[in-house]
Amino acid sequence: MKYIGEHLLPGQLGHFFILLFLVGAALASVSYFLSQRAASDTDKIQWKNLGRISFFTQSLSVVAIFGLLFYIIQNHLFEYHYAWKHSSRSLEFKYLLACFWEGQEGSFLLWGLCQSILGLLLIRSAGKWEAPVMSVVSFAQFALATMVTGIYILGWKMGSNPFMLLRDSGVLDNAPALHLNFDVSQPLRPDYLSSIKDGNDLNPLLQNYWMVIHPPVLFMGFASTLIPFAYAIAALWTKQYQDWTKLTLPWALFSTAVLGVGIMMGGMWAYESLSFGGYWAWDPVENASLVPWMTGVAGLHTLLIFKATGHSLRATFLFFILTYLFILYSTFLTRSGILGETSVHAFTDLGMNWQLLSFLLIFTLPALFWFIKSYNQIPTIKKEEETSSREFWMFIGSLVIFLSALVIIGQTSLPVFNKLFNTKLAPPADVEFSYNSVQIYVAIILAFLTAISHYLKYRSTHAAYFWKKMLVPLAISILLSIGFILLGEVAYDRKGPVFQGSIWVAILLSFYTIIANFSYIFIGIKGKLQEAGGSIAHVGFGLVLVGILISSSNKEIISNNINGIPAPLGEGENPRENLTLVKNLPIDMGSYTLTYEGDSAHPKKQLWYYKIRFKKKDGKEEFVLEPNAFVNYKGNQGLMANPSARHYWDHDVFTYITSIPDPANQRDTTQFKSYVQKTGDTIFYANGYMIVDSTKIRKELPKDLFGENGKLYEVPINIFSKTGSKYLVTSRSAFVKGQWIALPDTLSSEGLIVLLEQADETGKVQLGIKQSDAILKYVTLKAYKYPFIKLLWYGVWITAFGLLLSMYNRIKKNRVKSQPA
């Protein structure tokens, strides 16, 4: 059957390129493998050339697939399931890329694209290592390609194809209106596509600019961990156990920088667009990408030890192999749906678990087997490291960060543990503290080692030299951190004195790291900037630690509610954190007075911006924050809130909407109810009572406005609500140019409208009273104060800069060395 309006060409091309991707990657891997195994030089070169051609082909295919899928999304070709599921016509152009990688298929392609780019760079730079290294890289590409093929092999579905048509996806199977004779057993109507007017859109939480940039950087980070892994495997394979380290070092530096930045960009996205109230929640998805970064950092440091002293080569192998395996493990965790209830933002399960598991095992088992088999052949130095040597303490640091990574991944793997042993364990009550209470000691050890280790020399250090250089930075940091702790009031006593003391120690040592490493640039390497990459990265790391410690321990909820029902707090209960603002009614919140001034809608989407005015009580400052929220947005019922923050040099004020009135209750159906009253009489309403204060009549009125015999009645009424609040409203009625005009008064916090229906000079009045929710526009919000969060962001950028500077420096040194003398 022919269907009207379908564009099948991009999909057909897409299918072709996916097969080419798969075949090209497989062929490249095999060719490189045979090139390495070949006995004669001509065979080696021939196979290598075939490998290169295949790798170029698969790289081009990935680019083509990328372009075709983007074309489909950009042109809203909803006959394709991917476009229908992840995009919509109203989506801004800048988010089209974000919907590209919202789905598993697109993110696998992104990963494949990053690995292709790095593979091409390797072909240029790997020299004699090209064949074995590229064989591993191409095999990884092949594994990724299987994830997007979507073909059936012996009844097993392999991968999920991004070019699947909507009508083949099963989504339309149960929609009778789209089938002939409204019968789902009949084929689709030829004009079915004319009924598919719009797609499901990108998840509103992902409609944020960080979601355009965070995934490419993160996947580049993932891809980069493959290179040290591939070199390590190549070294085990060729039994050249030492030579690979020189070429791997720049890659390891690159990987640490890019993966680290990618992870923290995810944190920035969470901070700016999620209502978790923070940048890090120890969520399994976050942990799963942090752990390979940590093992990679451990590998980077043992690699440096090896290059300087010849120690720690075995550990370097292990750390780099495990880094990539942890990337695969994290892929399995986040994409298989195994995390279930424990994570709020894992991918949707696509039913490819067996395939993801095979992906993990096909790398893990051979790599670890090979490592164990070759363990005794990897050269090692029998002589023990001196305790006064740099390598001794660097190794301890690497060990601590590595074991800390193992502990984190162990804690994160609770759902896997449940599956394996059929238990029903759930994360503990305070998930964050279960991590923080351990990692604070890791931070203390690492900060201390990072501070001192540059002042230690490789092999051994004279005590006098060490102490002479160390003491001044230590003294400065003690003073600085005491000042900070006292002035910044870092008083996090909720978890007891031990934890609080640990935070103080950690802050002190983080300052020490910053100052000691900063001074080292001048003391140790005499201001030579090119050599300073390591020190700069460590300064950045210190800033990251200080930023994390201060912003988390001193995070303050400033929307603590005092106007609710005065219910006593139970033991261990959180204080009431939400505050309701009725429109135009100023409410106290800490040192601010808040007013909800109104809202405005996005021109195309059901996205609302709520205008909240913050006014300092001392009158010094006033600003408006506009947190926004998607309301009942395309299949995402309810409210999806995006925070808004005001940034200062030393803190952020951060707020988001937690509740709004149900739109269904907003229809105003209630009628005015009339009451005939005299002064002093009481009227009861649902939430309290009101007393007519007096009746005033004014006759001396400007004639140009009121005409002849103009009259104005004013009836002030005191309103006493159940909550104990007292209000005054004044209802008016005017006789203007021969006509009565009612000027009702409203009390929005009580939902009251008071209308003066009749009045006369005896003081008898008839009041119309209406109470409804509809006039009550309100929002409920939460607000936080984050001190010194900027230090964290600056620290991340400085660390990355230092790492990349080191990378540049190492690449340059490698070039100089490899040039013939």
Partner 1 sequence: MKKIHLVLLIFIAASIGVLISYTNTASTYDTIETAMQKPGKFVHLMAKLDKSVPLEYDAIKNPNYLRFTAIDSLGATVPVVYHSAKPENLEMSERIVLKGKYQNGTFVCEEIQTKCPSKYKEAEAKGLKHPGNVPDPRTQP
Site string (740-769) toward partner 1, x via CB under 8 A: ---------x-x------------------
> Which one-letter DSSP state was computed for residue 424?
-
CB 661 to partner 1: min, Å: 7
CB nearer to partner 1: give 222 or 610: 610
DSSP letter string over 88-140? -TTS-GGGHHHHHTTSHHHHHHHHHHHHHHHHHHHHHH-GGGHHHHHHHHHHH
Given candidates 154, 567, 816, 821, which one binds partner 1 under the rule CB under 8 A? Answer: 567
Interatomic CA distance for residues 617 and 588, integer angstroms:
9
State the number of CA atoms in the 13 A half-sphere of 416 facing the CB: 14
CB nearer to partner 1: give 505 or 701: 505
Q: CB neighbours of 702 closer than 8 A, spacing ≥ 6?
A: 710
DSSP letter string over 379-420? ----SPPPTTSHHHHHHHHHHHHHHHHHHHHHHHTHHHHHHH
CB 136 to partner 1: min, Å: 29
Interatomic CA distance for residues 156 and 387, integer angstroms:
57
User: In the range 83-142, which residues lie near partner 1 by CB under 8 A?
Assistant: 84
Site string (777-796) toward partner 1, x via CB under 8 A: -x-x-x--------------
Site string (377-396) toward partner 1, x via CB under 8 A: -------xx-x----x--xx
Integer Rg of the chain from CA: 34
Sign of the alpha-carbon dihedral angle for 429, 431, 433, 435: positive
Interatomic CA distance for residues 430 and 425, integer angstroms:
14
User: In the range 415-454, which residues lie near partner 1 by CB under 8 A?
Assistant: 417, 424-429, 434, 438
Backbone angles phi, psi at 40, to 5 degrees: -95, 155
Which range, of 356-364, 566-574, 755-763, 805-813, touches partner 1 by CB under 8 A? 566-574
Biggest CA pair distance of the chain: 119
| Residue 636 interacts with partner 1 (CB under 8 A): yes or no | yes
User: In the range 178-237, which residues lie near partner 1 by CB under 8 A?
Assistant: 178, 195-200, 203
Q: Are 113 and 22 in contact (CB under 8 A)?
A: no
Q: Are 145 and 111 in contact (CB under 8 A)?
A: no
User: In the range 25-54, which residues lie near partner 1 by CB under 8 A?
Assistant: none
| Residue 573 interacts with partner 1 (CB under 8 A): yes or no | yes
CB 74 to partner 1: min, Å: 18
By three-state DSSP, how is residue 232 classified?
helix
> Which one-letter DSSP state was computed for residue 693?
-
Interatomic CA distance for residues 443 and 771, integer angstroms:
58
By C-alpha distance, which of 385, 378, 273 is closest to 316?
Answer: 378
| Residue 173 interacts with partner 1 (CB under 8 A): yes or no | yes
User: In the range 644-703, which residues lie near partner 1 by CB under 8 A?
Assistant: 658-661
CB 119 to partner 1: min, Å: 33
CB 410 to partner 1: min, Å: 5
If one counts every other C-beta atom within 10 angstroms of the C-beta of residue 154, the result is: 5
Given candidates 247, 303, 582, 791, which one binds partner 1 under the rule CB under 8 A? Answer: 582
Number of residues forming the site for partner 1 (CB under 8 A): 77
CB 526 to partner 1: min, Å: 32
If one counts every other C-beta atom within 10 angstroms of the C-beta of residue 598, the result is: 12
CB 345 to partner 1: min, Å: 11
| Residue 1 interacts with partner 1 (CB under 8 A): yes or no | no
CB nearer to partner 1: give 335 or 810: 335
| Residue 536 interacts with partner 1 (CB under 8 A): yes or no | no
Given candidates 41, 183, 341, 700, which one binds partner 1 under the rule CB under 8 A? Answer: 341
CB 341 to partner 1: min, Å: 5
Backbone angles phi, psi at 539, to 5 degrees: -60, -45
Given candidates 497, 570, 619, 702, which one binds partner 1 under the rule CB under 8 A? Answer: 570
> Which one-letter DSSP state was computed for residue 201?
-
| Residue 411 interacts with partner 1 (CB under 8 A): yes or no | yes
